[in-house]
Amino acid sequence: MESNNRSSIGRSTISQALDETPLSLFHLRAMITAGMGFFTDAYDLFIIGTATVLITKQWHLTSAETGLINSMTLISAFVGAFLFGRIADIFGRKRIYGLEAVLMVIGAAASAFSWNFASLIAFRFLLGIGIGGDYPVSAVLMSEYANRKDRGKLVGLVFSMQALGLVAGPIVGLILLSTGMPANIAWRLMLGLGALPALSVVYFRRRMPESPRYESKVKGRVSKAITELTTYSDGAVSLDEVIAEVPRRMGLKAFLANKQYLLYLIGTAGSWFLFDYAYYGNAVSTPLVVKSVLGAGKHPLTETLALSLLVFLIAAVPGYFLAAWLMDRIGHRRLQLIGFPLMGLAFLVIGVVPKLTTVVAPFLIIYGISYFFAEFGPNTTTFVLSAEVFPTSMRTTGHGISAGVAKVGAFIGVYLFPILSKDLGLSGTLIITAVFSAIGFLVTLVLPEPARRAMGEVSAEDSLAPSATLAEASFG
């Protein structure tokens, strides 16, 4: 990031100025503020797979009950994404930014004090609403602060914070279990620790100003947008003459009736749904997957966690950050079209070569390849694409619908994974995920390529909203 970049933009709208502003420290600040929530999201979503190994033994749960605990946060994330996404377009991103983190704090802390199956389900449901709400608001705020050349990188880096949370879960599990503490205390600490990073998220997000694009394009508050942007960017964005865009707000009915936006919504929500089914069942159940390959009862949970962590570190983490770094060069849509088939091929190889599930080293290599191309592909790109193809007044709504529908796919995948694995075996279950990956590739084809293009151009929003010169606003 360039720390002292000063960009003097000539006659332009605020959106055009932001599109052309080089990378600066305020971009980094926005990325970290948004990304901190995704560290927490990932920790809370994936630590449950480790915790349920202990909870199942203590509470003597059935496979269906284990699947429900693992997936409950995902189905409530569907509610949170829809709810917060729509509210953020109506009342503004700033109004609710941080409130979703409050729900995450309460849900994580309360989960640690669960006394039975029903109470844990209720608290995980609350947690999921906060996690779901974090998706559209964080993604869209970052996309609306980003310039057009680096938008994929910045939004991708927000999502890549998930990698750190994904790794933190097994590390916390290993540390707690290696102390020899009782399982009843260990799983409670695993779940409760998710409240700590969420607390810091609440503080920093409430200090972040409203999106300048939203203020200008939707609310028409150009002077306020300029003042807040100049302050937040430490003067990195300097406008010589501001063109005020006529405020334009689209209703939900008109949005869904628009054929272009409906097609984009099918592309973003559909591909994300298919990916999350294929991905989350495996990711959340990774300790169970590795345990089945090692042989049930033959290896301690700490060894299972260590191997899961190894897969994450070697395969998943590089995939996240390489996707963010290279996405704008390769293309956001194009990277998704690369990742889907290669991820699916890895699942298919495991499925059609059953002996792979009985030999640890080859299995972990192929399983790791599936993880790499999940991250270096649709896990990152579905998040980014949904934040850039819709008009400003419906951007968090579009992203929220997409993320919400995706979490239904994740819920189905996580809930069914233990059941299908028991009935069809690991090989049969992964063949199904390979089919979902292939369909995800096809659905992606309906989307445009937004890389290095202005969001207003991608959504055709700029051609629909005329502009008028704001003569009194002159900055330089």
Q: Are strands 7-12 and 237-245 parallel, antiparallel or unpaired?
A: parallel
Q: Are 18 and 237 in contact (CB under 8 A)?
A: yes
Q: Are 159 and 36 in contact (CB under 8 A)?
A: no
Question: What are 327-350's pLDDT values in tens digits?
Answer: 999 999 999 999 999 999 988 988
Instruction: Give CA–CA dist 96/206, Å, rounded.
Output: 9
pLDDT classification of 474: cutoffs 50, 70, 90: very low
Beta strands in 174-289 (DSSP E): 237-245
Amino acid in the structure at residue 366: I
Would you call 248 exposed, middle or buried from its count of C-beta atoms within 10 A (0-12, 13-18, 19+)? Answer: middle
Instruction: Give CA–CA dist 180/84, Å, rounded.
Output: 41
Instruction: Give CA–CA dist 33/319, Å, rounded.
Output: 22
**Stretch (H or E) spanning 7:** strand 7-12
The helix/strand/coil state of 452 is coil
Superfamily of domain 9-469: MFS general substrate transporter like domains (1.20.1250.20)
Tell me the backbone φ, ψ of residue 242, rounded to 5 degrees: -95, 135
Q: Which two tokens stand for residue 9?
A: 């933009």
Exposed e or buried b per residue across 116-149, where buried means at least 16 C-beta atoms within 10 angstroms of its C-beta: eeeebbbbbbbbbbbbbbbbbbbbbbbbbbbbbb
Amino acid in the structure at residue 300: P
Residue 285 has pLDDT above 80, yes or no: no
Question: What are 48-58's pLDDT values in tens digits?
Answer: 878 888 999 89
Residue 326 has pLDDT above 70, yes or no: yes
Residue ranges covered by each domain of the chain: 9-469
The more confidently predicted of residues 236 and 44 is 44
Ranges 4-18, 238-252, 440-454: which has the least confidence: 4-18
Tokens 């996404």 belong to residue: 85
Instruction: Give CA–CA dist 384/140, Å, rounded.
Output: 9
Residue 422 has pLDDT above 70, yes or no: yes
